[in-house]
Structure 1
Amino acid sequence: MTGGALLPVVLLVCLALAGGADAARKPVGFYELKNKKGDFSIKVTNWGATLASVFVPDCKGNVADVILGYDTIAEYVNGTQAFGSTVGRVANRIFKSRFVLDGKAYRLFPNDGNNSIHGGHRGFGKVIWTVKEYVSGGDSPYITFFYHSFDGEQGFPGDLDVYATYRLSSPYELSITMNATATTKATPVNFANHAYWNLAGHDSGDVLQQELQILASSYTPLDDTKIPTGQIEPVAGTIYDFLQPTPVGEHMDIVPGGGSGYDLNFVVNGEQDAFRQVARVEDPKSGRGMEVWANQPGVQLYTSNWVINEKGKNGKVYGQYGALCLETQAYPDAVNHPEFPSSIVRPGQVYKHDMAIKFYQDA
């Protein structure tokens, strides 16, 4: 893919990949949103309501794509990294792929050892969404995707109507809103956008020298299967202290082969439902920076520990630590931890996850 104008590219996905006869008839394509100036644009696809590219200028006006991804729909279908996907019904991990809700036990599909991750082996990032609205240009270009998740899908209870909207606004702001309404049963809901950010450009190597600030004074420690213990601990005096801007790799053990790096939920400061700044990232070489804002209680920092020799856009082979994810979210495994903020949505209730990525250029 290139940075120029791109009309929707339509691909009919075969029945086996689409997951049903009705889904097989839906066209899958890439769609572009671009600002009036032409120096800020994104491409998205309704496969997984996925963010496929983000083109934004640096301090000298040079435009580059700052997220990892693929060139084709087929690569997204077959990919294992969830590049840019909208993940759910429940993002992150659920302990031993099970939970009890209102006295009834539910069993999910394990796809991370004995645990379930990102909604199971065919979560929301691996299904076809319907394009409901699409305005490619103007003052506030946007696209809205819709997905109906049926009762029992991947083991989760109840029907769920889901919307995801990507929107550009001036000067360089990308907003992502993810809403869902439970219609028949109570169900856990926790969506996340799984973009892999490298502000130097998707093809520029590792992000270890990019400066990261996370506005979180505490985190949720993990057991040896990456499930929260239920405790909340302060970041002070640990390698998880990003309260001040710090190079990503400054306190991180660098272990080739995916054995080390960050993959942890931070407890965002402030009221848990308030829309507030979560994090800031800046690349010292290009001068590109971004602020992450959201209304969720947590944010997962993941440093691409397991992205190893992954062929991406324009033939680029992505390596370990080649990007970072900042996934605003509910606390992982909240459905099994009554001491955590609840992730349960009951019939008639609306789940709202609002995000904004605010880009800037620092000379």
Structure 2
Amino acid sequence: MRMASSSTPTSVSFGTAPTGEAVPLFSLVNAHGTEARITPYGGILTHLFVPDRHGNLSDVVLGFDSLEGYLSPAYQQANPYFGALIGRYANRIANGHFTLDGHTYQLAVNNGSNHLHGGTRGFNQVMWNATPHLAPDGSPALRLGYHSPHGEEGYPGTLHLEVEYVLCADNSLRIEYRASTDRATPLNLTQHSYFNLAHGQVPNALGHELTIPADRYTVVDDTLIPTGELRAVAGTPFDFREPTAIGARIAQVPGGYDHNWVLPAPLAPSGLHRAAFVYEPTSGRTLTVLTSQPGIQFYAGNFLDGSLVGKDNVPYTQHYGFCLETQHFPDSPNHPAFPGTILRPGQVFRSTTVYRFGVRAEA
């Protein structure tokens, strides 16, 4: 059942955390009726209702209607990170170790021999402090805070984090990240929503037309760790500089798309990169992604296998949803030539990502 529209964020009960703590679900609704629902458990975006070309609102992200779905044994085993905030280090770190200022750190290994998305208990499984409020322009917003202690999952330094979700009047969901630390530490934060812009109307997301205005991507080995090579996309199935259906060439990519693209220079004066554009022909919905991050990981839902049944009793089969994770490059602490990811005392990490939704009339 849809929540009542309001300019001020509201909340209902979403379930009980493993610690016994009550977990709320906050609803952010703008003047158009576009609605984002977010829980402080994992900072998860559970629902996102946006209009199609006829003005009908539908949920375009994968997830569950209660916290129980995110805590179930099946979900914990599959661990797809539906809608969650990811850190300290999004994506993979080879063999779970890196050297910083002459000291080698060993992180939790949770993806074969590698460290993935912050480890065994990353930011996707912690309770964030939540403060609902209105942004200066009157947009509904939710500010989330978390203190990650020194040594959590093997990372150095106590990290102070703040992430703010803002649902804007132009049907954009803006995500602002801020962080500081008392010791040098790697940091790579992202948001891990799976999108399907025609949820319930199509068997999978392979017909979505994707544009990524990047001319290079990070080549990876068979464990998805970068080799260090930034390869031109021209003449490869990684060339999305022109709109291309996700499924058009996916068979040419062993395992499917799960790769990082090197974004072009930021737009002036916003400081944001054009990261991606998606058009879904059935619904007419569009998604524009802008970010201050230097890369974007496009993941085509390769590991979804139908074992998880989500909202509206829909089984999430292979490629049912896709992710566009704005980020720094994978394994950057072990690749000095990649953009730096080390946050030091006295510095403040700041990053912005915008997911803007629109429609295109039928041709």
2:87–2:118 CA contact under 8 A, matched in 1: yes
Letter in 2 for 1:109: A
What residue is the counterpart of 2:340 in the other structure? 342
Q: Distance in 1 between matches of 2:117 and 2:84?
A: 10
Contact 2:237–2:252 under 8 Å retained in 1: no
Measured in 2, the distance between the counterparts of 1:209 and 1:7 equals 35
- Whether 2:62 is the aligned partner of 1:68: answer yes
In structure 2, the residue matched to 1:295 is 292
Q: Secondary structure at the match of 1:8?
A: strand
> What corresponds to 1:13 in structure 2?
17
**Aligned-partner Cα distance in 2 for 1:50–1:343:** 24
Report the 3-state secondary structure (helix = DSSP H, G, I; strand = E; otherwise coil) of the residue aligned with 1:200.
coil
Equivalent position amino acid for 1:261 in 2: G
User: Is the deviation greater in 97-106 or in 350-359?
Assistant: 350-359
- Cα offset, 1:204, TM superposition: 3.6
* 1:179-194 → structure 2 map (5 Å cutoff): 179-182=178-181, 184-194=182-192
Q: Do 1:262 and 1:301's aligned partners in 2 also have CA atoms closer than 8 Å?
A: yes
Deviation readout 1:242-294 (Å, 9 max, x if unpaired): 00111111111189xxx721000000011499312110000011110010000
Matched, 1:284 2:281: yes
The answer for the alignment partner of 1:323 in structure 2 is: 321
Given the two structures, how large is their TM-score scaled by the length of structure 1? 0.92
RMSD of the alignment, in Å?
A: 2.1
TM-score, normalising length from structure 2?
0.92
- 1:1-363 equivalent positions in 2, closer than 5 A: 2=2, 7-9=11-13, 11-15=15-19, 25=21, 27-38=22-33, 40-78=34-72, 79=75, 80-135=79-134, 139-182=138-181, 184-201=182-199, 204-253=202-251, 260-271=255-266, 274-309=271-306, 310-363=308-361
Work out the CA distance in 1 between the residues paired with 2:142 and 2:123: 17
* Conserved? CA contact 1:3–1:55, under 8 Å: no
Q: Tell me the distance in 2 between the aligned counterparts of 1:213 and 1:325.
A: 13
Equivalent-residue separation in structure 1 for 2:59 and 2:14 (angstroms): 22
Distance 1:147 1:234, change over 3 A: same
**Count of residue correspondences:** 349
Structure 1: gaps spanning 5 or more residues = 16-23
> For residues 75 and 350 of structure 1, what CA distance do their matches in structure 2 show?
35
SS in 2 for 1:74: helix
Give the CA deviation at 1:4.
Answer: 5.0
Q: Which runs of 5+ in 2 are unaligned?
A: none
